Amino acid sequence: MRFRFGDNKLQELYTNETGAEHDEHSAGTGFCRVMAMIQRVPDSRDFYQFTALHEEKLSGDRAGQHAFRLSKSWRLIIRIEQDDKGQEIVVIAIVDYLP
């Protein structure tokens, strides 16, 4: 599936594997795993076959966005956009979901 980054730091993490200060190793490792899954699927409906993603639709301030689990506390926030070429994932942020 096509994807792009809404944040330069995430682009750098993806291309150079640098900037993974989030949760030391677990968020960076989870990020690489989830990005590999995103690349493999032809359509966003295929995410449901990957139960390890723990994909969830978000609401409130993040309505229209989805979260994929990177580790126990870290989530990758994405948005799915549609254009004349099909679906594209916009990778928005890595956020800490534990209080």
pLDDT tens series, the chain, 99 aa = 999 999 888 898 888 866 555 444 567 788 988 999 999 999 888 888 888 888 999 999 999 999 999 988 899 999 999 999 999 999 999 998 875
Residue 21 has a pLDDT of 54
Closest CA to 41 of 80, 97, 95, 14: 80
The closest alpha carbon to 1, from 45, 37, 39, belongs to 39
CA 29 to chain centre: 12
What domains appear along the chain, each with residue ranges and CATH number? 2-96 (3.30.2310.20)
Helix, strand, or coil here: 33?
Answer: helix
Cα-Cα-Cα-Cα dihedral sign, residues 7, 69, 18, 35: negative
